[in-house]
Chains A and B, each alone.
Chain A
């Protein structure tokens, strides 16, 4: 199943907090599309997601945000 999480309006530490809690809710094999801003979230959210054992499939820039696709 595909899920979407928009953290473009969140700030530290809720960018990480919401990502981690959302991923914990998903079933194994689920896909999560995270919309986030450049800077701190882009530099660190994909990194910490990988540390949690999930797979980052894609990081793509969009107009005003970045899309990070993660597989649980």
Chain B
């Protein structure tokens, strides 16, 4: 039986939604489905090479915005964020219960051959360049290329 492929648009930059996106993606890839993850807007924060707050960009506004958003280390929880302490507590709880952390999920996604791509347009707005993103990013593309990649795939928007 031919299994369906999945394309996941990762628009959100919250900790819990990133976990959800990577859990579905790695689960699908490990059970023999082809998976593409397309990171756009807030989702780009998950892929920043500098995982703490850093003034990425050229213009003052972009640099200011990128410091505010931060990187993987600063992803807020959708609810009960409590100034950023909750994602740290949540990671501790995940480790205690032996559930994969975000870092482990990202590594697994790469190891499973999931196609990780970033949105050119959002990168332009936020002045994030290819070199500012982790090496696992395979390509920087626009929506039409993404839709070509997703021709035979179910698309999820997170």
Please give the residue numbers on chain A whose beta carbons come within 8 Å of chain B beta carbons, in ascending order: 9-14, 16-17, 19-21, 44, 48, 51-52
Query: CB distance B30 to A13 under 8 Å?
Result: yes
Is B12 an interface position by the 8 A CB rule?
no
Which of the listed residues A20, A51, A52 has the most CB atoms from chain B within 10 Å of its own CB?
A: A20
Given the interface pairs A21-B111, A21-B112, the reply to whether A16 lies near B31 with Cβ below 8 Å is yes
Query: CB distance B31 to A14 under 8 Å?
Result: no
Chain B neighbourhood of A52, CB < 8 A = 32
Within the complex, what minimum Cβ distance (angstroms) separates B6 from chain A? Answer: 13
Within the complex, what minimum Cβ distance (angstroms) separates A59 from chain B? Answer: 18
Query: CB distance B30 to A9 under 8 Å?
Result: no
| 30 pairs from A and B in contact (CB 8 Å cutoff) | A9-B98, A10-B98, A11-B97, A11-B98, A11-B99, A11-B100, A12-B23, A13-B23, A13-B26, A13-B30, A13-B108, A14-B99, A14-B100, A14-B108, A16-B27, A16-B30, A16-B31, A17-B29, A17-B100, A17-B112, A19-B30, A20-B29, A20-B30, A20-B112, A21-B111, A21-B112, A44-B31, A48-B31, A51-B31, A51-B32
Bound Cα distance from A30 to B80, whole angstroms = 48
Q: Which residue of A lies closest to B109 (CB)?
A: A17
Query: CB distance A13 to B32 under 8 Å?
Result: no
Q: Which residue of A lies closest to B25 (CB)?
A: A13
Chain A neighbourhood of B31, CB < 8 A = 16, 44, 48, 51
Chain B neighbourhood of A9, CB < 8 A = 98
Bound Cα distance from A20 to B111, whole angstroms = 10
Give B92-137 interface residues, CB cut-off 8 Å to A: 97-100, 104, 108, 111-112
Query: CB distance B99 to A17 under 8 Å?
Result: no
Within the complex, what minimum Cβ distance (angstroms) separates B34 from chain A? Answer: 13
Within the complex, what minimum Cβ distance (angstroms) separates B155 from chain A? Answer: 20
Within the complex, what minimum Cβ distance (angstroms) separates B122 from chain A? Answer: 27
Given the interface pairs A48-B32, A51-B32, the reply to whether A12 lies near B112 with Cβ below 8 Å is no
Chain B neighbourhood of A14, CB < 8 A = 26, 99-100, 104, 108
Bound Cα distance from A51 to B3, whole angstroms = 10
Indicate with 1 or 0, residue by residue over B1-30, a CB within 8 angstroms of chain A CB atoms: 001000000000000000000010011011
